[in-house]
Structure 1
Amino acid sequence: MKRKGLMFGFALVLAGLALFQSFRIDRQLSVSAAGRPELKVESPVPAFTLKGLDGGEYKVGGVRDKPLMVNFWASWCGPCREEAPALKQVYDRYKGQFDLYAVNVTRGDELEAVRRFVKQAEFSFPVLLDTSGEAAEAYRLLFVPTSFLIDRQGRLKEVIHVLPPDELEDKIKKLIAI
């Protein structure tokens, strides 16, 4: 009987710690981190400039000619591999109407693996290299793949993860129409 009471007490303490930790994480996500404003829908996205695999420099943030999808990914990520054909398909279909930047989280990846992934996936859109992790940090990236849909005014419209091709296409059509 005493042992059951101890086990119950231990389980209660663990549950309390889990609840406390969950509250702390939720609170941390809503408070600005390192002076960066919280990412909110309809708010301007953090600006960054990264080099692409093609050697060019690409800028995110501020007013642009076309809406933008920023997709954070890694070559070792299974869901990123699953998502790649849908990204290629939607870009090939709407490439004149929106931009797509595939931001490789290079800090946790190998450049040769990145090149192989891009070649195999036949990406025709810019692949950017976040070698320092600053862009991922500014966007508070928790896992890959994560995509940010950004309107022409540089405002966040939506955050999405792997979607079936038809749902991804619907999101892109809505982004273009804004």
Structure 2
Amino acid sequence: MQSPFLLSLIKKFLALLVLGSALHLAHADDSLDDEGARRARTAGASLIGQLAPVAVLETIDGEKIDLAELYGKKPVYLKFWATWCVPCRQQMPGFEQLQQTMGDKVQVIAVNTGFSDDIDSIRAYRKEHQLTMPIVIDDGSLAADLNLRVTPQHVVIGRDGRIFHIGHLDDQALHAALENAVSEQTASTSRSQANAAPETPQFTPGDTVTDLNIETLDGEQVQLGKGGKPRALVFFAPWCESYLEESRPETSLACLRVRKDVDSLMDQGDIEWLGVSSGLWVSASDLQDYKNTTPTTLPLALDEQDELFRAFAIRDIPTVVLLDAQGRVANILKPQDNNLVEAVKALR
């Protein structure tokens, strides 16, 4: 039988282990928050004071919100988020509280990134968190206009239609920006004064790709659409397999499956392969770390502004775009498609 003294020591030891684990997790969360804040601040630096983009948004309930009609009347608060995003989940209670306390003074809009998400998950998420503000799903264009680099990313637009604040944290800076935007008295901004982003050309199966290029991590310039060998573009994110393992296990497994399939197909050498990473939560150094630590020989490129993602209307990862020898889009394989080997054979 163990003595009371020994049992007491064991309990104290276990308590210290639990405390140490909690402190480690808290430190990791703080580091991620700091990194997210830095990325949002860097991405938004050039936008502060600029006219906000024009966009007519449609909510998941079918209602239209014309941002240009709001400018000059009331501030707008856009919050980019995703159902798989851990800090988004942590911030949701505060987000709903802002809607309840400031919704009459500020147009609050929850902007789902539309990146590896779906309408059923979004509706379930709204119900779980009892969200009452309008929810829209971005097609990537609003994210491009506002330099989306992290989730969540907060964008506060003043009454004058100019961007007031871009951040990642639900912190004092965000609340101060909202209060200042509400208290500002400025002249109205007309629709014609607001920025309208140019439309991004989109290529679908049968289209010949033109005017697209990207630089690999190794500094090679890749021009897409030029004649030569067939080409396969693997659209992904380096955090897919690890970060989504719990929140989106199907997507995580799909990224793992495609990576292994690609590695086996690359050995045949008759197709030029390129991995194209999204710029969401990814920098060049992040992608280099992935290359150094992941057993893959796939050449990699960072699509920092998600220009190629928009050009092929990629909203889910992993997606593989196959181009034939003439630069035409032969096939676009979604995460649920299991026929990559067959599709590549048909490309030859």
With the length of structure 2 as denominator, give the TM-score of the two structures.
0.38
| C-alpha distance in structure 2 between counterparts of 1:39 and 1:54, whole Å | 33
Verify the 8 A CA contact 2:82 2:115 in the aligned structure 1: no
Shifted more, 49-58 versus 76-85: the winner is 49-58
Q: Deviations over 1:44-95 (max 9, x none)?
A: 0122122101111112246242101011110110010011111111110111
Give the drift of 1:108: 2.2
Indicate how the Cα distance of structure 1 residues 120 and 55 shifts in structure 2: closer, same or farther if over 3 A, else same. Answer: same
Q: Residue 67 of structure 1 is aligned with which of 50, 72, 75?
A: 75
Alpha carbon RMSD of aligned pairs, Å? 2.1
- Paired residue for 1:138? 145
Alignment of 1:19-168 (within 5 A): 39-61=46-68, 63-130=71-138, 132-164=139-171, 168=174
What amino acid does structure 2 have at the position aligned with 1:174? N
Give the drift of 1:156: 0.3
Task: Give the structure, 1 or 2, with the largest relative contact order (CA under 8 Å, sep 6 or more).
Answer: 1
What amino acid does structure 2 have at the position aligned with 1:159? I
| C-alpha distance in structure 2 between counterparts of 1:45 and 1:69, whole Å | 11
| C-alpha distance in structure 2 between counterparts of 1:51 and 1:167, whole Å | 29
Give the drift of 1:170: 3.4
Give the drift of 1:125: 0.9
- Paired residue for 1:177? 183
SS in 2 for 1:112: helix
| C-alpha distance in structure 1 between counterparts of 2:162 and 2:142, whole Å | 16
Structure 2 unaligned runs (5+)?
1-42, 185-348
Give the drift of 1:96: 0.9
What amino acid does structure 2 have at the position aligned with 1:109? D
Shifted more, 166-175 versus 67-76: the winner is 166-175
Number of corresponding residues? 141
Indicate how the Cα distance of structure 1 residues 167 and 40 shifts in structure 2: closer, same or farther if over 3 A, else same. Answer: closer
| C-alpha distance in structure 1 between counterparts of 2:77 and 2:176, whole Å | 13
Verify the 8 A CA contact 2:54 2:67 in the aligned structure 1: yes
Q: Deviations over 1:109-133 (max 9, x none)?
A: 1211111111111111110111x21
With the length of structure 1 as denominator, give the TM-score of the two structures.
0.72
SS in 1 for 2:149: coil
| C-alpha distance in structure 2 between counterparts of 1:59 and 1:99, whole Å | 11
| C-alpha distance in structure 2 between counterparts of 1:90 and 1:61, whole Å | 22
What amino acid does structure 2 have at the position aligned with 1:74? A
What amino acid does structure 2 have at the position aligned with 1:177? S
Structure 1 unaligned runs (5+)?
1-28, 31-37
What amino acid does structure 1 have at the position aligned with 2:134? P
Verify the 8 A CA contact 1:74 1:104 in the aligned structure 2: yes
